[in-house]
């Protein structure tokens, strides 16, 4: 696996590869890789001749007081994992390489970014949209692979690429979970064993809401939100940030659930912020 830190050198490699007709699938990451990332890499390998991974902890998507400094970093561990997964190239640029000057451009998708995590992380999705645009422009992959755990991010990136006629296709891969249901996340590394156990209540709550819809016939979004809120409030050490029941395509709030419905939760366990979601097809 080739490690590349420079944008011009990466472009040279990409141009050389284009001449051979080989295709590239990009997996953008912020490192601290886990089984969820490896599922993205495996999908990338199925979708193109070469899987390329970017590893960049993007300062533009962290707000003041967020966990940019404590975000887990493990370049050597990540390199080993990617090497054994048959990744052809790891692009790990410095902040100066990506942002040689403060960007004057802002990319906003207000309709998709206003709710859910966007309501609590102002500017976060502008930072994601900017860096994903830059990565897609730099690498020019045929396809880019994202995880469904970050559902709002995947929706925003899919729309960004469509609206700007960017040539990459966006592929979204289902969330990978621990045995107890906890969604894989780099931030899980920051949980102590007790917090780790309590964190599983997030996915349990989502499943209970899905059961209420599918088996209990519940259709009221407000009642489902109350159900989820109460279930998490009963778990000591878990501090709810939001529960939401929204349309899975528009991300807009629903009164009555129907069609593709997104159940989403953000909660703090200790100082670690975790998110998770489930999509339910409601007839
Ligand atoms: O999902 C992530 O790890 C990041 O938001 C991404 C897509 C790599 C952009 O920095």
Question: What are 206-260's pLDDT values in tens digits?
Answer: 999 999 999 999 999 999 999 999 999 999 999 999 999 999 999 999 999 999 9
Question: What are 127-160's pLDDT values in tens digits?
Answer: 999 999 999 999 999 999 999 999 999 999 999 9
Token pair recorded at residue 133: 């645009």
Could you give the strand order of the β-sheet that contains 238-247, starting from the edge strand earlier in sequence?
Answer: 238-247, 259-269, 272-282
Name residues contacting ligand 1 (CB within 6 A). 28-30, 58, 61, 128, 131-132, 150, 153
Best CA proximity match to 154, nearest among 264, 13, 4: 264
Do 144 and 156 contact (CB within 8 A), yes or no? no
Best CA proximity match to 257, nearest among 227, 216, 205, 222: 222
Residue 100 alpha carbon to ligand 1 centre in Å: 19
At 244 the pLDDT is: 98
Token pair recorded at residue 204: 């349990």
> Which residues does the annotation mark as catalytic?
37
Q: Give the position of tokens 């996915």.
A: 203
Residue 118 alpha carbon to ligand 1 centre in Å: 14
Residue 226 alpha carbon to ligand 1 centre in Å: 30
Burial environment of residue 33 by CB neighbours within 10 A (0 to 12, 13 to 18, 19 or more): buried
């Amino acid at each position: 696996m080739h490690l590349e830190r420079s944008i011009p050198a990466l472009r040279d490699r990409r141009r050389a590869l284009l001449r051979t007709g080989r295709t590239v699938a990009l997996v953008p990451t912020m490192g601290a890789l886990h089984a969820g990332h490896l599922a993205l890499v495996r999908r990338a390998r199925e979708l193109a001749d070469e899987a390329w991974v970017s590893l960049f902890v993007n300062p533009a998507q962290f707000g003041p007081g967020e966990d940019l400094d404590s975000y887990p970093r493990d370049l050597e561990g990540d390199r080993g994992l990617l090497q054994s997964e048959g990744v052809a190239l790891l692009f790990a640029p410095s902040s100066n390489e990506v942002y040689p000057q403060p960007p004057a451009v802002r990319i906003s998708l207000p309709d998709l970014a206003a709710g859910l995590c966007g309501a609590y992380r102002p500017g976060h999705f502008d930072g994601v949209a900017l860096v994903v645009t830059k990565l897609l422009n730099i690498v020019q992959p045929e396809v880019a692979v994202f995880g469904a755990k970050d559902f709002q991010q995947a929706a925003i990136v899919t729309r960004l690429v469509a609206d700007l006629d960017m040539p990459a296709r966006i592929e979204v891969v289902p969330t990978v979970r621990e045995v107890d249901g906890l969604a894989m996340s780099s931030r899980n590394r920051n949980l102590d064993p007790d917090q780790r156990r309590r964190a599983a209540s997030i996915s349990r709550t989502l499943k209970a809401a899905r059961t209420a819809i599918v088996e209990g016939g519940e259709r009221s979004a407000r009642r489902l939100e109350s159900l989820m809120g109460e279930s998490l409030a009963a778990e000591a050490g878990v501090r709810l940030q939001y529960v939401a029941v929204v349309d899975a395509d528009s991300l807009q709030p629903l009164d009555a659930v129907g069609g593709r419905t997104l159940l989403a939760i953000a909660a703090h366990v200790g100082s670690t912020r975790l998110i998770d979601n489930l999509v339910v097809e409601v007839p």
